[in-house]
Chain A
Amino acid sequence: MELVKRYIAAVQRELPQAKQQEIGRELKANIMDQIDALTEQKGQLNEDDISTLLVNMGHPRQVAWQFVPPQPLIQTSSMPLYKNTLFMVLGILFLLQTVETTTAWLSSFDMGLIGFLHGLASGFIESACFGFTAITLAFVFTGSTRLDEQASRCNNWQPKDLPKAEPGWQYIDMSDIFTDLATYLFLLLVIWYPLWFIAESQAASSSLLSDNARLILQWASPVIVLGLVNSLWQLRVRIWSKALLIANILLNLTAMLIVLYLANSSPLLGVTPEQWQGVFSHAQVEHSAMVSLFIIALFPAWEVLRDSLRLRKL
C-alpha cells in the first residue's frame, strides 16, 4: 500500500491545491477497487503486481493533467499577436539600448570595447526582462477579454464583409505592420529622449544629435504619429485599398523629404571633435551621417514607387 500512497501523493503534487484532496480521495478509491478486482483474479498481490497496476494507470503527472488539463499562460489564438508584440518591443528596447550605450561610449574616454559590449548586454537584458514580463502579464490579464471579442467577431460576420480574393500583394503581412510600428515608436522615443530620459543621462544623450537636427525631428513628430495611426489602420484592415495606398504614398513621400532635408542640414551631430579625438574627425562623422540619411531616404522612396505602381493596378 506504500506504493499506492506514494502514487496518489505524486498525483496530488501536480494538481491545484483546491482539488488535491478531492481527486486524491477519489483516485485512492478507484485504485483500491482495481486492487480488489486483481486480488480476486490472482490471489494475494505482491509489490510487483501493484507496481504494474500503477504503471498501467499512467505517470502521475499525466494522470493529474487528465483530471485538470494545464492551461497555457497565453491563449493559442493570441500567440501570433503576442510574438509580434514581443519582437517589436524587444527590438525597440535593443535599439534604444544601442543608442544609449553608444552615446555613453562616445562621450567617455575611459570606456573600452569590452565596457561598451558589457553595457549593451546588461542594459538590454535588464530592459528586456521588464518588457517581456510587462507584455506577458498584459496578455495574461486581457486574455479572456480578447477571447470574448474574437468569439463575438466569429459569430457576427457575413461572407460579403470578407475582402475580395485579390492578388497576394494586397494582403498586408502582420510582421511588416509590426516592423513599421516598431520603427515609428523607436523614432518617437529617440526624438523625445529628453522628456523621459533620466536627468543625469540627459547630458550624455544630448551629445548624439545636434539641437538643429533634434528640432527638425521634433517638428516631424506629427508625421511619425500619422505613421503610427496608418500602421494601426493597416493592422485593422490587413488589405491594401486605394485609400490606404494613397495614405502610405503621402506618408512615405513626406518622410523621404524630411530625411533629405535633415541630411542637408548641418551640423547633424552634437558631438564635439574633442570627444572623437583618436577615432574619427568631426567632418568624417558628419559626412557619414549625411550619407546614411540619404540611404535611409531610399526606403520611403522605394515604398512610394512600389505603392504608386500598385495604385495603378487597382
Chain B
Amino acid sequence: MTTAQLDKMRLELRRGVLVLAVLASLKQPHYGYSLRKQLQDGGIDIDEGTLYPLIRRLADQELLDSEWRQAEGRERRYYQLSELGTSLLGQLTDEWQHLNTSLASLLATKTQETP
C-alpha cells in the first residue's frame, strides 16, 4: 500500500471520529483556536481548514450554540454544545463505545489468528 493510499484511509477513518471529538470538547465553551489546542493536547491533530468549517457546520445544524465575546482586547466567537448537541453526543458516545468494543474484539481475534 502506498503512503497516499494509507493517508486517504486514515483521513476517512478520522473523519467521523472528529465530529465526536469536537462535540465532546465543546461541553465547555471554546473559540476556534482554543478548541484546536484542546484537541491537539488530547492527541487529535486537526488542521484549521478542517476544524473551523466543521464547527460552523455543527452550529448550522443547531448542535452548537455560539456567541461573540470580547476577550484579551479582541472579539472571539465561542461555541458550546446546545441541548440538541448534548443529546446527540450521548447517543454518539454509546455508539462509539459499542463500536469500539466490537472492533477491539475483532482486532484481538485477528492478531491471535495471525501466525
Query: Could you tell me which A residues sit within 8 Å of B by CB distance?
Result: 23, 25-27, 29-30, 32-34, 37, 56-58, 62-63, 66-67
Contact = CB atoms under 8 A, between A and B. Distances in A.
Nearest to A57: B48
A1 to B, nearest CB: 13
Contacts of B34: 33
Interface string B44-55: 000111101100
A30 B35 CA distance: 11
A76 B89 CA distance: 32
Contact of B33 (A23, A34, A57): A34
Contacts of A33: 31-34, 76
Contacts of B37: 37
Nearest to B33: A33
A29 B48 contact: no
B56 interface: yes
B49 A62 contact: yes
A33 B32 CA distance: 9
Interface string B84-111: 0000000000000000000000000000
A30 B33 contact: yes
Contacts, number: 43
Interface in B31-83: 31-34, 37, 47-50, 52-53, 56, 74-77
B55 to A, nearest CB: 9
Main secondary structure of the interface of A (DSSP, over half): helix
Contacts of A58: 49
Interface in B1-55: 31-34, 37, 47-50, 52-53
A50 B109 CA distance: 50
Name the prevailing secondary structure of the B interface residues.
helix
Interface residues of B, number: 16
Nearest to A59: B49
Contact of B49 (A29, A32, A63): A63
B32 to A, nearest CB: 4
Contacts of B77: 25-26, 29
Q: Which 4 A-B pairs have the closest CB atoms?
A: A33-B33, A66-B53, A30-B32, A58-B49
Contacts of B33: 30, 33-34, 37
A63 B48 CA distance: 9
A29 B76 contact: yes
Given A37-B33, A67-B53, A30 B48 contact: yes
Nearest to A33: B33
Given A27-B52, A29-B75, 9 more contacts: A23-B56, A29-B32, A29-B74, A34-B48, A37-B37, A56-B48, A57-B48, A62-B49, A67-B52
Interface centre among A32, A33, A58, A67 (most CB of B within 10 A): A33
A57 B32 CA distance: 13
Contacts of B52: 26-27, 30, 66-67
B70 to A, nearest CB: 11
A29 B74 CA distance: 8
A57 B49 contact: yes
A30 B74 CA distance: 11
Contacts of B50: 66
A29 B72 CA distance: 12
Contacts of A56: 47-48
Contacts of A57: 48-49
A26 B32 contact: yes
B74 A32 contact: yes
19 contacts: A23-B56, A25-B75, A26-B77, A29-B32, A29-B76, A29-B77, A30-B33, A30-B48, A33-B31, A33-B76, A34-B33, A37-B33, A58-B49, A62-B49, A63-B49, A66-B49, A66-B52, A67-B52, A67-B53
A215 to B, nearest CB: 64
